Amino acid sequence: MAIFKEFQIFIARGNVADLAVGVIVGGAFGKIVTSLVNDILMPIAGLALGGVDFTSLSFTVGEAVIGYGQFLQTVTDFIIVAFVVFLFVRFLNRLRKYAIREKKEEE
């Protein structure tokens, strides 16, 4: 019974709700970035490299097919997401510094 009470207190914290919203928004953002990479960036990169479709790049070892093109696409997704998150955190940090500076000037 004590574990349920502890769980109820844990769920009631504001951080859990913030985390849930972050996960949901992050999932939707991931879909947008995946579409950006799959539908815009990789076709342009393929054209620049002579019409290569990255998703179809693969080689065979015995009976196993190693699809490294899909891996390249996933790595590109990750790099773009990481860069955008970096820019967002950088923006928030600058906004926070600006707010702190204004608060000190008011005092």
pLDDT tens digits along 59-93? 999 999 998 888 888 888 788 878 888 888 898 88
What's this model's pTM, rounded to 2 decimal places?
A: 0.58
For residues 54 and 73, the answer to whether their CB atoms sit within 8 Å is: yes
Average pLDDT, the chain: 81
**Residue 23 backbone zone (phi > 0: left; psi -120 to 50: alpha; other: beta):** alpha
Domains and CATH numbers, the chain: 2-106 (1.10.1200.120)
Share of the chain above pLDDT 70, in %: 98
Q: Is the pLDDT of residue 16 over 80?
A: no
